[in-house]
Every structure is written in structure tokens, then in C-alpha cells.
Amino acid sequence: MVVDSKLYDILGVSPDANDAEIKKAYKKQSLANHPDKNPGDDGASQRFQEVANAYETLSDPDARAAYDRYGNADDIPGMGPGMDMDDMFASMFGNATFGFGKGRPKRAQDSVLPYDVKLEELYNGKVAHFALEKNVVCSHCQGTGGKPGAVAKDCVTCGGKGRVLQQRHAGNGMISQTMATCSLCDGKGKKYREKDQCKKCHGKCVVTAKTRLRLEIPRGGYDGQRIVFEGEGDQLPDTKPASIIFELKQKPHETFQVRNLDLLATVNIPLSEALLGFSRTILTHLDGRHIHVTKQQGEVIRPNQVDIIRGEGMMDQRYLDRRGDLFIAWNIEFPPDDWMRSMDADAFCRLLPPKRPTVPSSGDTIVDEVATLPGNMDEYGNNVGTQHQERDEFDAGEPEVQCAQQ
């Protein structure tokens, strides 16, 4: 239950109105009370401003919660004429600020830097060095932005609030109003005169400095992993320094795919090896080792067969003795159509299992000799009959029409 409904009354909504209802009411009231729509009405401008102020508070979840709890700003404990919204939220939420004015954020903005890595580098680990520039608090003025003894004055643009009201034409004669950070004082609310500014940072409170970082990618790193350098980012006066975060982006690999700790590789083998076996190196692993596999004669490899080599997957970076598995998907390469042209086909057939017999038939059986064409499963189901069209129409909600019986 709210303690004051004045702002809701201005917009003409109930205190339990949702965001969409508040926004719709704001547009309606703004249009109805716009000074251009009410020539000669001296109170239109005041009503228009009240509508904008009401919407500014009720459209922000945190500001609305504070208003519902305390009502008018004069009734909020500890808030008087000299206290702004940032001071109010600081008392409510532990010195946090929500962009209402002169307060500073408790932490500078972190920087997230994507870093492309090869799968080999994730498997084996890697060390990379970076030279970066960042903002640090000016040591000459200790982050005040002014000369020793100088006093900052309220910004003439925002009146010391750090934010200004901006108006934009939204079409159909409507004007939208939003609060924006004051560009003259960068949201501080205070500003030194040019002659009182620090000669090193020129009133900006920070200067540029170079830093070097040593990025260690652990063995068993993974795509999307974030490596955080706490406090190595930009600095602002009276705030916790930002962090620099490297986000690993794995490049596609020509041999391996990875899922969690498991690796998958497709290995091509000729039909002769699939039937007769082999003993050879099938691939080079991510650390340069040759993976040698022996398949005994008579150990037939069939189409779509997958084998597993235990313990040859990615490493768990926390438990180095734990590894995933390497999955081998065999792709059997069949010979070209004319490969037996110079061979004795009958002699070769005697080496293979016998052919399947034809389907038994009788003298009355009709045997139809047909020809086959190359195809693929993508074409399966493309031939649609009228009965299928009627079924699809029925499934889509279109009723089937039948003739009445005579």
C-alpha cells in the first residue's frame, strides 16, 4: 500500500498500475497538457512539467519503490531541501547511487575484452602479454580536479544536480522528456573554473597511464571462460577500480570438435581398411602426439561407427588428473564406380561374403525392372498429395467441407 498517490493521480492511474499503463497514461497526459495544444492557458506549462516529473519517478523501479514507501520527498526521513535523490538512495541502499545526480558509482565500469584462442592453446595452456592504457586518479590533485585550496562551484548547466532534463520531439505534436547526465560537469554537479583546474589533469580528475598484463590461459580452458584482473581497469576518484576481464573465444578447429571435456574427430578410412583392418597413425593430437590405432583383420568397421579412446579428451583445469574422452567417428571412403575395371571381379567376389539371394517368386509374380537415380534424404516427403493438403488445412483450423446426402 502506497502512502501518497499524488503522482499516480497526476497521470490518472491507480497505484497498482503496471509499466505499460503508466507509459500509456503519460503519453495521453503529455499530449493533453502540452503548452502548444493549450494556447492562452497559463497553467498548461506547469501541468505539463508535473506530468513529466510524475512519469520520471514512476517509470523508474527504484524511484517508484521509494515514493510508494515514503511518499513526498519532504516526508522521507533525513531528506530536506538540500538533499537530492542520490542522497536518499544512499541512505536506503548503503551509499549506492542510481544516477539521480551528484553521487558517484561505487565501482568503475569493468572492461570485457574478447580474446581469440586456438583449441591447442586451450588444451596445452598459454601465456600472453598485453600493453594497455587506462585512466588512473591524478596524483597531482588527488582526484579533485582542482588546484590546492580551490573550491568547485555548482555547475551552471545542471544547478549542481549532475543531470539535466532533455526534451525531444516524439512526433504527432508530442515531446518526450528524459533525464541525462550533464555534459558540462560529467555528472559531478560541481565544476572548477578554468583557472582553478589542475594543470596535470585539466579538471578531469584522472590521467592516462600504461600498464602491462600477463594473461595465463590454464590447461583445460574453455570457450567463453572469463579471466579477471581485479582492480586493473580504469580508476575514478572515491570509487573501487574497475577490473579487466578477458573472455576466451575458441576458433573453429579443422580436426576436432569439443563438448565439455570430450573431443570428437572424424577419421577417413578406405573400404579396404574397414574390411581388413589396419595399424597406423590416424591423427595428430592437440599436443603434437601421434595417435596410433590397430584394428585386427576381421574387426570390421561399419558405416556411422563411433569408437572411444578413454582419457584423451580435454583436461579438467581444477583436477589435472581428470580428463575427458576422445570420440572417433569413422567415415568409410568407398571406391569409385570403375575401380574394378582391371580386376577379376569373380575372384574378388569369392573373397567377400556371398551376395543376398533374390526374393522368391512364382510363375504368376510380376517382376518390374526399374532404374535408380542418385538422391538424398532432404527430398524425402517433398511429394504432397491432395489428401495431405486437406489434412494440413484441417490441422491449421480450416474445416473440411462435405456435400450433404440427397
Could you report the per-residue pLDDT of 257-297, keeping only the tens digit for each? 999 989 999 999 998 889 888 888 999 999 999 999 998 88
Higher-scoring residue by pLDDT: 239, 70: 239
Binning pLDDT at 50, 70 and 90, where does residue 360 land?
confident
Contact, 247 vs 226, CB < 8 A?
Answer: yes
Lowest-pLDDT choice from 14-18, 56-60, 124-128, 216-220:
56-60
Under the banding of pLDDT at 50, 70 and 90, the label for residue 89 is: very low
Collapsed DSSP state (helix, strand, coil) of residue 92:
helix
- Which is more confidently placed, 78 or 43? 43
CB 162, CB 99: distance < 8 Å: no
Residue 370: pLDDT band (50, 70, 90) is low
Q: In which band, very low, low, confident or very high, does the pLDDT at 227 lie, cut at 50, 70 and 90? A: very high
User: Residue 51: pLDDT above 80?
Assistant: yes
152 band by pLDDT with thresholds 50, 70 and 90: confident
Q: Output the pLDDT for position 126.
A: 92
The domains of the chain are located at 5-73, 111-152+192-250, 256-333
Asked whether the predicted pLDDT for residue 136 surpasses 60, the reply is: yes
What b-and-e string marks burial along 302-334, b requiring 16 or more CB atoms within 10 Å of the CB? eeeeeeebeebbbbebeeeeebbbbbbebebee
**CA-to-CA dists, residue 315 to 33, 215, 258, 318, 319, angstroms:** 67, 19, 12, 9, 8
Higher model confidence: residue 351 or residue 313? 313
Contact 111, 233 (CB under 8 A): yes
Cβ atoms within 10 A of the Cβ of 209, count? 13
Helix (H, G, I), strand (E, B) or coil at 64: helix
Q: Which of 191-195, 236-240, 381-385 has the lowest mean pLDDT?
A: 381-385
5-73 against 111-152+192-250: fold identical: no
Average pLDDT rounded to a whole number, residues 224-245: 89
- Asked if residues 126 and 217 have their Cβ atoms less than 8 Å apart, the reply is yes
Residue % of the chain over a pLDDT of 70: 78
SS3 15: coil
- Distance between CA atoms of residues 107 and 103, nearest Å: 12
Using the predicted structure, report yes or no on whether residue 389 has a pLDDT greater than 70: no
Please give, one letter per residue, the 3-state secondary structure of 279-335: EEEEEECCCCCEEEEEECCCCCCCCCCEEEECCCCCECCCCCCCECCEEEEEEEECC
Higher pLDDT pick, 84 / 69: 69
Confidence at residue 91, expressed as pLDDT on a 0 to 100 scale: 39
> Mean pLDDT, the chain, as a whole number?
79
Does the pLDDT of residue 405 top 90, yes or no? no
Residue position matching grid coordinates 570509487: 239
Give me the CATH code for the 256-333 domain, please.
2.60.260.20
Q: Which architecture, in CATH terms, is 5-73?
A: Orthogonal Bundle (1.10)
Please report, as a single letter, which amino acid is at residue 384.
Answer: V
| Runs of H (alpha helix) within 59-184 | 61-70, 85-92, 119-124
Segment 360-372 mean pLDDT: 74
How high is the pLDDT of residue 1?
60
What integer is the mean pLDDT of 238-249?
A: 89
pLDDT tens, 180-222?
Answer: 778 777 777 888 888 888 888 888 888 999 989 999 999 999 9
Per-residue CA distances from 271 to 172, 275, 334, 370 (Å): 74, 6, 6, 28
Is the full-model pTM beyond 0.85? no
Looking at residue 223, the DSSP 8-state letter turns out to be: T
The least confident of 53-62, 198-207, 230-239, 375-384 is: 375-384
The matching CATH number, chosen from 3.40.50.300, 2.60.260.20, 1.10.10.10, 1.10.510.10, for 111-152+192-250 is 2.60.260.20
pLDDT surpasses 90 at 254: yes
Q: What are phi and psi of 101, to 5 degrees?
A: 175, -125
